[in-house]
Structure 1
Amino acid sequence: MKNVSSDLKAWMMSNGLTQKKISDALGTSTAYVNTMMCGKKPFGRAAAKKWQEAFGLNASWLMTGEGPMLVGQEGAPERPLSLASHSDGGGIPLIPVEAMAGAFRGERTVLEYECERYIVPAFEGADFLVRVTGDSMVPTFRSGDIVACQRVPLDNLFFQWNRAYVLDTTQGAIIKRVRQAGDTGHILIVSDNAEYTPFELPREQLHGLALVRGLIRLE
């Protein structure tokens, strides 16, 4: 039987669920949740069914570690991401919003010590992961999605027009599409949600840039 503990922890982190939130949803104690999350006790049929009803996790996967993690995920990758160990230096760091500036600069303290790291086989070579917030990029990116990003050097910058980027701007980090503006001193920032009006951003207000390589969505 595969150990589901690391994947279950990764799923919990990617969905912003604490042990308290899980225990409240299940109507049980945080001690029980911790026991199950750490793999100290295997999932029985009744417990697995309860977790499936509450969170959409596949009861069979919880009991055996085999098959898709989520109900209705047949045919999808069985392990979209798993939690990596800090000690082995592997995995891709999931960067909190407040540390985005350090991620663009590749600061060692941010990328190696302060963040959870995840193994995502589909996105080897990505520099960091970041969680999407807001609805400006729906339907392509939804709030709660995790996007894999590859840093782009600002010197001798070359844009792939109409691709999605994470941009570190004077007003903070944003995820948008980038298109050519009316002059070389600006770039056109475009949302996928038509309710958000495109705007031109002066290049001098761009402090960091990362190309979005793909997304992870756990539903």
Structure 2
Amino acid sequence: MIQFLEYKGITKNKFYVETGISNGTLDKVSGLSLETVEKFYNVYPEINPDWLITGKGEMIKSEKNLNIISNNRKTKDGKVDEQEIPLYDFEATAGLKDLFNSDSPRKVLDTIKIPNIPKCDGAISVTGDSMYPLLKSGDIVLYKQVAIEDVFFGEMYLLSIQLNEWEEYITVKYVQKSDKGDEYVKLVSQNGHHQPKDVLTKSITAIALIKASIRINTMM
């Protein structure tokens, strides 16, 4: 943190005032809490969250970050030289199931052209912090639709879960094998504040493998 503040010319006093972080935090030897990291990142979004947490990589993010989801992947995908991926207006759809239904009307906000990434069916913006810091609210995820029986445990998926007759829960989670048996799967977050949850496989109405994510940062 101190290295970043020196780079930006920010005093410790200004830092504490802007972030609301407790005085003296910068002088502590122990690791940073998730709450401290979130407060820091909310005020200084130009910092690379991986560098902030691990000290590895570039300190300052590029204006547009593309993250190919590949760490510890069990599946290997061939990359496409060039493809045009539709970015859907998810708020204009009736849910993930309808978005994946080719017969349903879908509003395309724009198209994304990125060379040399795995084949994708579409892209949407995500909300929530369950996959933070890998994903944060507003990031764009690029996905490939799959059948529930084709799920590889340990991968990251975009899911729709039918809670009841009227409610649909949309989320991005790691899907893992459940201790409750084959009728269930375990949904696991990147953010440690979110507890794993076992859900019935039959309640999953739509699922897609996350292939990549895009984070756009406006530099003022």
Determine if contact 1:149/1:211 at 8 Å carries over to the other structure.
yes
Q: Is the 8 A contact 2:87 2:108 kept in 1?
A: no
Q: Cα distance 1:173–1:217, how it changes in 2: closer, same or farther (>3 A)?
A: same
Q: What SS does the corresponding residue of 1:102 show, helix, strand or coil?
A: helix
The code of the aligned residue for 1:143 comes to S
> Structure 2, unaligned stretches of length 5 or more?
1-45, 47-59, 67-82, 163-167
Indicate the residue corresponding to 2:86 in structure 1: 93
Partner of 1:159: 151
Alignment TM-score, normalising by the size of structure 2: 0.54
Aligned length: 134
Write the distance in 2 (CA, Å) between the matches of 1:158 and 1:91.
25
Q: 1:102 to 1:120 in 2, by over 3 A?
A: farther
**Which of structures 1 and 2 has the larger relative contact order (alpha carbons within 8 angstroms, sep 6+)?**
2
Q: State which of 139, 145, 163 in structure 2 corresponds to 1:145.
A: 139
1:35 is matched with which residue?
Answer: none
Q: 1:131 aligns with which of 116, 119, 125?
A: 125
Which residue of 164, 183, 203 corresponds with 1:185?
183
Decide which structure has greater strand share: 2
CA shift, 1:121, in A, is: 2.3
Any residues of structure 2 matched to 1:36-115 within 5 Å, and which? Answer: 73=62, 91-98=84-91, 99=93, 100-107=96-103, 109-110=105-106, 114-115=108-109
Q: 1:37-94: CA deviations, max 9, x gaps?
A: xxxxxxxxxxxxxxxxxxx8xxxxxxxxxxxxxx9639x78xxxxxxxxxxxx72122
CA distance in 2, matches of 1:178, 1:163: 6
Change (3 A) 1:172 1:96: farther
| C-alpha contact 1:181 1:187 (8 A) present in aligned 2 | yes
Question: Which structure shows the higher helix fraction?
Answer: 1
Q: Secondary structure at the match of 1:121?
A: coil
Secondary structure at 2:133 match in 1? coil
Partner Cα separation in structure 1 for residue 130 and residue 61 of structure 2:
27
Identity between Structure 1 and Structure 2 (%): 25
CA distance in 1, matches of 2:111, 2:98: 16
